[in-house]
Amino acid sequence: MVNFRLPGPTPLPPAVVEAMRREMIPHRGPVFRAFYAELLRRARAIHRTEGDVFIWPASGSAGWEVAIVNLLSPGDRVLAAVCGDFGDRFAKAGLAFGLDVRRLDVPWGEAVTGAALGQALETHGPVQAVFLTHNETSTGVTNPLKDLTQVAVDHGALTIVDAVSSAGALPLEMDAWQVDFVLSGSQKAWMCPPGLLIAGIGGRAWEAYARSTFPRFFWDIGAARASAANGMTPATPPLTLLYAFDAALGLIEEEGLEHVWDRHRMLGHLTRTGLRNIGLELFADPAYASDTVTAFRPPAGITAAQVIDAMRRDYGIELQNGQAHLADAIVRIGHMGWAHEPALRDVLVALAAYVARQGAAAGVSLTTAG
Ligand SMILES: Cc1ncc(COP(=O)(O)O)c(C=O)c1O
């Protein structure tokens, strides 16, 4: 069996696969309405919010658009905090809708700090919203979200958070951390196939919604709220994926959310320590290294593609390269969702063997004692 270690999509637990065998049911009937109302209640609990959570058939990127067209208006000034490719795309989504997007760019591999955000907000003047990426999947960095939302709120800005590769894996307290809008995708720590956008919406976001003048239809959060009040969705719901999400939430509830967070903390630590012991250089600032995805540089003279090809061919392990200008420069290991210690240890053993082989071929040892 393939050891599937992409930072999304992620492996499906057997219970999730089994859940997707369920038959169709009438999506306006009482069984669905009870099921969906309960599913949203459980999703709210896991988002740690008294606010709303709604689900659309979409990938995570649609969440940027949902936030923009519901909470903002053309020409609104926003500040996008960018420390990698996904933060960059979030900023570009704002530009596509005619927002006045100001950027705080930090070098990829580093985190956005509260101090840097505060300074940028002083420089760019009042903004309607701050675009934040909780976990930058392209670099393996987790930003200090609680600090960042506090700074944004202190400056009177809405907090719109991309939690695509953190929700369900890393501590995220929507209400306590003053997150107004949070988006994630089913194919990451939610342990489901790609195809669901999950969005949490808080009280201040609804106030912003009342002011927003963007045209919208499919993504209208007001329509989602009106339907959800009756246990329904405005359009035909993706039943099979909702069954999958139901099973995945069950697994998280069974393990306990905080234990899930602990498991990810342990896996992040295990992965980083193992890579260091092999002598591989970690990419992210160690103070902000992600517990859902780890990026490392290939040994000198070897490209990311070569490492990935060898892992696939010789060890049945799927890893992923970097994005944008980091495409050849880093290899990423996903350890979120249905991820457990033995599978990560297998990756480390394989990488150690690969690095030793490369070293032997080159007549030197690339490994360091650890
Ligand atoms: C942090 C982050 N944001 C947004 C996205 C985009 O999500 P999707 O590919 O599901 O549209 C991803 C995908 O990997 C991501 O990791």
pLDDT digits (tens, 9 = 90+) for 218-258: 999 999 999 999 999 999 999 999 999 999 999 999 999 99
Residue 369's pLDDT band (cuts 50, 70, 90): very low
- Kindly state whether residue 116 falls inside one of the protein's structural domains: yes
Q: Are residues 247 and 330 in the same domain?
A: no
The domain boundary, picked from 234, 254, 274, lies at 254
Q: Is the pLDDT of residue 365 over 90?
A: no
For residue 90, the CA-to-ligand 1 centroid distance in Å is 10
Quote the CA–CA distance of 201 and 44 in Å, as a whole number: 10
Q: Are residues 128 and 190 in the same domain?
A: yes
User: Dihedral, CA atoms, 255, 259, 261, 263, nearest 10 degrees?
Assistant: -90
> 270: domain CATH number?
3.90.1150.10
- Kindly state whether residue 369 falls inside one of the protein's structural domains: no
The domain boundary, picked from 254, 272, 300, lies at 254
- Per-residue pLDDT, 343: 98
- Per-residue pLDDT, 364: 56
Q: Helix, strand, or coil here: 61?
A: helix
Q: Helix, strand, or coil here: 142?
A: strand
Indicate whether this model's pTM tops 0.85: yes
Q: Are residues 221 and 305 in the same domain?
A: no
Q: If you average pLDDT over residues 195-204, what whole number do you get?
A: 98
Quote the CA–CA distance of 47 and 144 in Å, as a whole number: 17
Domain span at residue 322 reads: 3-7+257-362
Residue type, 282: L
Among residues of the chain, what percentage have pLDDT more than 90?
Answer: 96
Q: Are residues 215 and 151 in the same domain?
A: yes
26, burial (CB in 10 Å: exposed 0-12, middle 13-18, buried 19+): exposed
Whether 336 contacts 252, CB under 8 Å: no
Over the stretch 285-318, which tens digit does the pLDDT of each residue have? 999 999 999 999 999 999 999 999 999 999 999 9
Q: Are residues 161 and 200 in the same domain?
A: yes
- Per-residue pLDDT, 192: 99
Among residues of the chain, what percentage have pLDDT more than 70?
Answer: 98
For residue 277, the CA-to-ligand 1 centroid distance in Å is 30
- Kindly state whether residue 27 falls inside one of the protein's structural domains: yes
- Kindly state whether residue 368 falls inside one of the protein's structural domains: no
Q: Helix, strand, or coil here: 65?
A: helix
Q: Are residues 54 and 124 in the same domain?
A: yes
> 187: domain CATH number?
3.40.640.10
Q: Are residues 208 and 192 in the same domain?
A: yes
- The sheet carrying 293-297 orders its strands as 281-282, 293-297, 331-334, 320-321
For residue 138, the CA-to-ligand 1 centroid distance in Å is 9
For residue 29, the CA-to-ligand 1 centroid distance in Å is 33
Over the stretch 249-282, which tens digit does the pLDDT of each residue have? 999 999 999 999 999 999 999 999 999 999 999 9
The domain boundary, picked from 207, 231, 254, lies at 254
Q: Helix, strand, or coil here: 113?
A: coil
Q: Is the pLDDT of residue 370 over 60?
A: no
Q: Helix, strand, or coil here: 132?
A: strand
Query: For ligand 1, atom 15, which residue shows the shortest CA distance?
Result: 164
Residue 359's pLDDT band (cuts 50, 70, 90): confident
Task: State the helix-helix crossing angle for 221-228 and 61-71, rounded to 10 degrees.
Answer: 100
Quote the CA–CA distance of 150 and 35 in Å, as a whole number: 35
Pocket of ligand 1 (CB under 6 A): 8, 59-61, 86, 133, 137, 162, 164-165, 185
